[in-house]
Amino acid sequence: MQITITARHFELTDPIKEYAEGAIRGLKKYFDHIIIAEMILQVEKNRNIAELNLRVKKLTLVAKARENDMYTAIDSVVRKMERQIKRKIGKMKNHHSNGKVALKKLDSVEFETPNIIRKSLKPVELDLDNAIDAISKSQDDFFIFKNVGADNVTMVKKIKDGFEVIEIQ
């Protein structure tokens, strides 16, 4: 990660610079692939303003904070950026079905359960030949019936070269 710290209208001291760099490096625990981090620190009248710009691949995140103290402004802008990063990661998790996001804490990833629709049916009593005739005439991919010849529930499934018969015990 490339870190740039710029001071406007005041002299940037080493303690402030080190504090800002440490705060920016702390953002790596939320997101690995930060390419460029730019922090602009400025003083206007009695206000200390900190602005943080992060570039991540095709995304740019911006946060700005105004406080009475420069250290407090740095803390505030970093907290705002943490919230933005967490929000973007949440959106990326929901958008990408495979759930692959560059996260350090993979144990906290939650997976959604699929919607399950339950239906009950009473199988029709047929022999295997009549069931194959019925599925070949329909648009369905499978047919479940009670096989009178074998006295069990059977499923006939259409496959590429014919039919597959699955007997349910």
**In terms of Cα–Cα distance, which of 13, 39, 7 is closest to 26?**
39
In the prediction, which pLDDT does 105 show? 47
In this prediction the pTM is 0.55
> Taking 80 as the threshold, does the pLDDT of residue 90 lie above it?
no
Q: Return contacts of 110-117, CB within 8 angstroms, 24+ apart.
A: none
Average pLDDT over residues 31-39: 85
Instruction: Name the CATH superfamily for 2-108.
Output: Ribosome hibernation promotion factor-like (3.30.160.100)
Q: What is the mean pLDDT of residues 8-20?
A: 91
User: Which architecture does CATH list for 124-168?
Assistant: 2-Layer Sandwich (3.30)
Domain ranges of the chain: 2-108, 124-168
Tokens read off for 48: 């200390």
Judge whether residue 40 has pLDDT over 90.
Answer: yes
Question: How sure is the predictor about 100, in pLDDT bands with cuts at 50, 70 and 90?
Answer: low
